[in-house]
A and B are shown apart, each in its own frame.
Chain A
Amino acid sequence: MADPFTTLGVAPAFSLDLTQLAQRHRDLSRTLHPDRHAAAPPGERRRALGHAIEVNAAWRTLRDPITRAEALLERLGVPRDERGGPKASPELLMAVMEQREALAEARASGDVERIDALAGAVRQREQETLARLTEAFSRAEGGELDAPRLLSLLGELRFVRRFLDEVGAALDDLS
């Protein structure tokens, strides 16, 4: 797949203005919409459609911090690791395990308030991790690439995401 930053015409960075990016995606999609190319020769129509699909994929990749980080790592030449990066620290694993157990209990007893409290704490952690990741990426852009740190922060973000997905499932269950 083409580099999503290039496709959307934005400078590669972890910290992006998503409102601006959304606008850029809308503008590009409008220009590339098949209706606009209905009268064009088939080759051109196909190209426009292909480009439109690419633009949508690039937008999906960049709006999510996890896939955005993956795209940046690829640009930085950090090889993809099937295991998702370095092993998580014992502290992180302990915290995640405790939170998952607490969530399972709250879900079983239908305690929505508790679930909200757990989710709030984890969202707080997510913000902290995102801030660290932003900093590590800006260092990398400045020539100080610390791949293990980037990968372990990204791993942390995936644990958080997974937890928040479970929160969503639990709340759906109970509503």
Chain B
Amino acid sequence: MAYSEKVIEHYENPRNVGTLDKDDPNVGTGLVGAPACGDVMRLQIKVGEDGVIQEAKFKTFGCGSAIASSSLATEWITGKTVDEAATIQNSQIAEELSLPPVKIHCSVLAEDAIKSAIADFKQKRAARKALEG
């Protein structure tokens, strides 16, 4: 199957590959997987006090489309507030990368990863706020 140019571009030059300290209170970690194909994806965000995502990193073990979807996701969410980032839909990622129907699940995985990283971050921040009273 042929990959679109944008997928190949992200695959060859993935943005923001790496790891953030998952124990940092300002870091949210999302870990998701696709039982249909065995891909795994980790997406992490570092959020400032103003709620803006300062940095996003990912690590994906999967096909080119999964790597491109997560790479694009980190690019899109950096500089957005967590609430803005939470509105990103898999269909937007699929459209940007011209993913064929059989690869749509890769964009779903990326959306899940964003949401799960945000949920983790919010949980941490809520727990911290509760401690601070």
Q: Which residues of A contact B (CB under 8 A)?
A: 81-88, 90, 92-94, 96-97, 100-101, 104, 151-152, 154-156, 158-163, 166
User: Contacts A83-B108, A100-B61, A101-B59 known; A90 to B36 CB distance under 8 Å?
Assistant: no
> Which one of B36, B37, B40, B42 has the greatest number of beta carbons of chain A within 10 Å?
B40
> Which one of B32, B59, B61 has the greatest number of beta carbons of chain A within 10 Å?
B61
Q: Are the CB atoms of B40 and A100 closer together than 8 Å?
A: yes
Q: Which residues of B contact A (CB under 8 A)?
A: 31-40, 42, 59, 61, 105, 108
Residue of A nearest to B109 (CB): A83
List the A side residues contacting B108 at CB < 8 Å.
83
Q: Are the CB atoms of B31 and A161 closer together than 8 Å?
A: no
State the main secondary structure of chain B at its contact with A: strand
Partner of A162, one of B32, B39, B42, B59: B39
**Separation of A31 and B38 alpha carbons in the complex (Å):** 39
Q: Closest Cβ of chain B: how far from A9's Cβ, in Å? A: 31
Question: Given contacts A93-B31, A158-B37, A162-B38, could you give 17 more A-B pairs where the C-beta distance is less than 8 Å?
Answer: A83-B34, A83-B105, A85-B36, A86-B35, A93-B33, A93-B40, A96-B40, A97-B40, A97-B59, A100-B40, A100-B61, A101-B59, A155-B36, A156-B35, A160-B38, A163-B38, A166-B61
Q: Are the CB atoms of A93 and B32 closer together than 8 Å?
A: yes
List the A side residues contacting B37 at CB < 8 Å.
84, 158, 162
Q: Closest Cβ of chain A: how far from B57's Cβ, in Å? A: 13
**Separation of A163 and B62 alpha carbons in the complex (Å):** 10
